Amino acid sequence: MDNTRVRVLNDIEAWIMDPDALHICWITGMAGTGKTSIAKTVCKRAKSNPDITLGGSFFCSRSTGLAAQHDIRCVIPTLAQLLALQLGEFRSSLAGTIQPGAQYKEVATQVEELLYTPFLAFDTPRTPILLVIDAIDECGGETGDGMLDNTKCHAVVSSMLEALVNITRCNPKVQVKFLVTSRPESQIRDSSISDENLSQILRLDAVKMAEVDADIRRYVTQTLESKLSRKPIARARISDDEVESLVRHCDGLFIVAATALRYTMGEGADAAVARFKRLLDTSRDNFSACAASPLDNMYALILLEAARVDGSENTDLPGLLRLLASLLSARMKLSIQALADLLDLKTYDVRASLSRLHSVVHVPEEDDMPGLRTVHASFGDYLHGRADSHIRFPRSFGQAILAHACLITMGRRLYFNISHSSSSYQLNPSKRPASISLALEYACLHWAHHMIACASNDEMRSNSFSFDFEIGQRFRPNLLFWLEVLSVLGKISLAPGLLSIVCTAVS
């Protein structure tokens, strides 16, 4: 929003333009303080500024369902590719120095071969080059499919940050600026990026509360004015004191304000006033000075309201949590239709349930449009760790749901000649046949990874017998049909690895 974070953004732009400034700026703050919004705005402003070259950006995320977005090994190759597309001189230099397989080497070697060496080979550019890496702390996750577990990933993150610092320490003439944002996690705090002699550090938690509150107040006020512009009477019923109450309860967290307004407008302008006041009533009873408490209490209110059946006191909280657990464990962005197919539910029921969670879940407009995801990573953190016992569930819960769902889907949907080829001598169809739905694609590609995630969890090991039985009943008779689907999808090379994963998951 215009006229918010003005000082912070101006400070960052001044850092980019200063040739004598340190080459790395680390923006750090707890979840919900607005790091990603700042990074996106910096990119937008840099792209429109002729005095700055936006070389590339990488926005790490655990909530998009894209494995590459939380794989630390993808960051440097992506930035190098984007920079090569932006600058012909860098492209030529990279082409002349790159070694075969550089993108698969250790991350520190990637930094040297894909960034540092090409930078040295061409003259200093006329404008500073900016590279942005957002939410680097969100890298890591489940094992399988070559992904790093959290422990290994944290070590690689530290190694990459050390390598980036060393670029400018070894050769200050390299005119490239790295903007890095993250929560103050230990693997990042313990690296050289936290040394104020080597990087400029902007701690959002240290920004004056009056400045943060002013931005949140402006955001809340302008959003209400915009959303209720055609309902002036409704807008008048939300007083300045009530807006101030929300600002106070946000306790400096922009995500609280954003979630509150999404909840307020979730059922349209006519219901906005009642929802806003209900939220404040809950706040007075439950909010505390604890930084996570305002957000957690809001999440609880949103969940329990969404779970009510037809506005009655009866709830379908278990069904709603099952949907959310599946959504949080999904390895790619699904559509409403695909999620419903996997869980053997009606599409309209899934849409109705998730639409009531509009403030915390992004729901695509069309049922067959992929893109289901939680709005903010803190919602998943809440459900997995901080929620009350009747709401909280372990990460393994969603993994088990999807493992069983994938096996059931393959058992039901796989059949001979699913590609509808007239002869086995023909090439695969150029377009995926309608018989291979997104749900079936997901099941065929990801069932093994959900199984191994369950097998690696102590609480879920008792399910190994159940999985072995289901594999025998649903997968083994359809093995050749499964191979045909992978072939049509151009993923047949994954088959040996997936079968190997399964062999380690069950006896």
Q: Over range 331-357, report the average pLDDT.
A: 94
| Domain match, 178 and 189 both | yes
The set of long-range contacts for 458-465, using a CB threshold of 8 Å and a minimum separation of 24, is 459/394, 459/396, 460/396, 460/399, 460/400, 463/400, 464/505, 464/506, 464/507
State which of 141-145, 266-270, 281-285, 444-448 shows the largest mean pLDDT: 444-448
pLDDT of residue 310: 59
| Domain match, 111 and 147 both | yes
pLDDT of residue 141: 57
| Domain match, 383 and 338 both | yes
| Domain match, 326 and 270 both | no
Please give the single-letter amino acid code of residue 245.
S
Last residue of a domain, one of 371, 393, 415: 393
| Domain match, 356 and 486 both | no
Answer whether residue 313 shows pLDDT above 70: no
Is residue 128 in a domain? yes
Is residue 1 in a domain? no
Token pair recorded at residue 265: 């407008």
Is residue 21 in a domain? yes
| Domain match, 35 and 163 both | yes
Tokens 């960034």 locate to 115
* 23: nearest Cα among 148, 237, 192, 157: 192
Q: Over range 307-325, report the average pLDDT.
A: 80
Is residue 299 in a domain? no
The pLDDT-based confidence of 448 (bands split at 50, 70, 90) is: very high
| Domain match, 366 and 382 both | yes
pLDDT of residue 152: 82
The number of folded domains in the chain is 4
| Domain match, 222 and 140 both | no
Cα(213)–Cα(219) distance, rounded to whole angstroms? Answer: 10
Q: Measured between alpha carbons, how far is residue 487 from residues 52, 342, 491 in Å?
A: 46, 21, 6
Higher pLDDT, 400 or 279: 400
Last residue of a domain, one of 393, 415, 431: 393
pLDDT digits (tens, 9 = 90+) for 4-15: 999 999 999 999
Domain with residue 101: its CATH number is 3.40.50.300
Last residue of a domain, one of 148, 180, 206: 206
Q: Measured between alpha carbons, how far is residue 323 from residues 300, 401, 404, 440 in Å?
A: 16, 9, 14, 18
Is residue 54 in a domain? yes
Answer whether residue 238 shows pLDDT above 90: yes
Cα(210)–Cα(394) distance, rounded to whole angstroms? Answer: 38
Is residue 300 in a domain? no
Is residue 363 in a domain? yes
pLDDT digits (tens, 9 = 90+) for 183-224: 888 889 889 999 999 999 999 988 898 999 999 999 999 999
The pLDDT-based confidence of 462 (bands split at 50, 70, 90) is: low
Answer whether residue 144 shows pLDDT above 50: no
Higher pLDDT, 18 or 122: 18
Please give the single-letter amino acid code of residue 434.
A
- pTM of the full predicted structure? 0.70
Percent with pLDDT over 70 in the chain: 90
Four-CA torsion 95, 97, 103, 104, nearest 10 degrees:
140
| Domain match, 32 and 66 both | yes
| Domain match, 270 and 249 both | yes
Question: In which domain, by residue range, is 449 found?
Answer: 400-505
Is residue 302 in a domain? no
Q: Over range 471-498, report the average pLDDT.
A: 94
Domain with residue 372: its CATH number is 1.10.10
The pLDDT-based confidence of 146 (bands split at 50, 70, 90) is: low
| Domain match, 139 and 95 both | yes
The pLDDT-based confidence of 24 (bands split at 50, 70, 90) is: very high
pLDDT digits (tens, 9 = 90+) for 82-114: 999 999 999 999 999 998 888 889 999 999 999
| Domain match, 251 and 114 both | no
Mean pLDDT of the chain: 87
pLDDT of residue 283: 52
